[in-house]
C-alpha cells in the first residue's frame, strides 16, 4: 500500500481525481488527449468553490504526466503521488498473459484507423521505450510485485513470432458484442511522445 502523504485524505483525493480524469477525453486520431483531459478537469473543478486552486493545478499536472510513460527522463522528477498515478496507469501490463493480449486487442480496435504496419510500429515503439527504463514502476513494492511480469509480457509482444500470440499487435479482434466500444485503461499509443 502507498505510504506517507499518499495515505492522507488529500493524497487520496489527488490520486482519485487524476485517475478519474486522465482518460476523460479520448480521440484515437489525436495526440493531445491528456492535455484535453486536463483542461476538462480544470474547467469542471473550478466550478466548485471547495477545491483549492493548487489542488486543481496539481491534478492537471498528473493527468498530463500520463502522456509521458515512454520518456525515460521524466518519471523520477514527479512527486510521489504523481508517480503513484503513473504506476496505476501502467499496472495492466503486469496482469496475466491473457489479459495483456486481450488489452492489446482492445487497443488495436480503438486504433482501427491505423494500418497494421502503423499500429505495430506504434505498439513496438511504446513497448521498447518501457523496456529501456531502469524500472517500469516507481514504487519499490510495485517493482517487487509487478516488474518481472510486466517485462516478460513486453518481451513476448516485441519478439514472439507466433501469429496467434501476436494478436495484440495485429489486426483488431472482431468478437465484441454489437454496439460495444472497447475502452482499455491502458496508456494510449497516441501520446505526443509517439506521434
**pLDDT tens-place string over residues 25-49:** 999 889 899 999 999 999 999 998 8
- d(C-alpha 142, C-alpha 1), whole Å: 9
Say what the pTM is.
0.76
Low pLDDT (below 50) residues in the chain: 1, 161-195
Distance from the Cα of residue 167 to its chain's centroid: 20
| Tens digit of each residue's pLDDT (9 = 90 or more) over 133-146 | 999 999 999 999 99
Rounded to an integer, what distance in angstroms lies between the CA atom of residue 4 and that of residue 122?
Answer: 37
Domain span at residue 99 reads 4-194
* Number of domains the chain contains: 1
Amino acid at each position: 500500500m502507498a505510504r506517507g502523504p499518499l495515505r492522507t485524505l488529500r493524497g487520496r483525493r489527488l490520486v482519485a481525481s487524476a485517475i478519474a480524469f486522465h482518460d476523460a477525453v479520448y480521440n484515437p486520431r489525436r495526440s493531445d488527449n491528456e492535455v484535453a483531459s486536463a483542461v476538462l478537469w480544470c474547467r469542471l473543478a473550478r466550478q466548485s468553490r471547495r477545491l483549492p486552486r493548487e489542488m486543481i493545478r496539481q491534478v492537471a499536472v498528473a493527468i498530463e504526466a500520463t502522456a509521458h510513460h515512454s520518456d525515460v527522463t521524466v518519471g523520477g522528477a514527479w512527486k510521489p503521488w504523481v508517480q503513484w498515478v503513473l504506476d496505476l496507469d501502467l499496472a495492466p501490463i503486469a496482469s496475466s498473459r491473457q489479459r495483456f493480449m486481450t488489452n492489446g486487442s482492445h487497443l488495436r480496435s480503438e486504433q482501427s484507423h491505423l494500418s497494421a504496419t502503423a499500429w505495430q510500429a506504434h505498439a513496438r515503439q511504446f513497448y521498447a521505450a518501457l523496456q529501456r527504463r531502469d524500472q517500469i514502476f516507481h514504487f519499490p513494492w510495485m517493482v517487487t510485485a509487478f516488474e518481472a511480469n510486466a517485462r516478460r509480457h513486453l518481451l513476448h509482444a516485441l519478439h514472439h513470432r507466433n501469429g496467434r500470440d501476436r494478436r495484440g499487435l495485429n489486426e483488431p479482434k472482431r468478437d465484441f458484442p454489437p454496439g460495444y466500444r472497447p475502452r482499455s485503461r491502458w496508456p494510449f499509443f497516441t501520446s505526443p511522445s509517439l506521434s
